[in-house]
Amino acid sequence: MIVDLRIYTTLPNRMAEFVTLYQDKAWPLQLKYLENCLGWYTTVEGALNTVVHLWGYADQGDRERRRTAMAADPAWGDYLQEAGARGLLIKMENRILRPTAFFEAFRAARRG
């Protein structure tokens, strides 16, 4: 398994608008195509105006197939266009994470 960690920084006082737009237009599409959301968060302390979400994939090929299918959906293009037109974001980042061997062993032991 790999995890796609995505971090979005919004303009000050625009995070709620970004979250609402995402919830209404992007969330249904991402659930349809990406399926495995591990968490979706907004910051309370630290770097403010930040949204963080994590998506689990079997491997990099699985991630690429799912994201390519989502990108081909016209509704995804509509969401991206609207998000860009509103100018809500300052920065977008993503990192691909791989679990450590000891964590994988922990997960396997918990599953029984």
Span 62-102, pLDDT tens digits: 999 999 999 999 999 999 999 999 999 999 999 999 999 99
Give the mean pLDDT of 34-43: 96
pLDDT at 112: 80
pLDDT at 4: 98
pLDDT at 107: 85
> What pLDDT band is residue 43 in, cutting at 50, 70 and 90?
very high
The more confident residue out of 70 and 46 is 70
The SS3 call for residue 103 is helix
Give the mean pLDDT of 54-65: 97
pLDDT at 104: 87
Give the mean pLDDT of 26-45: 97
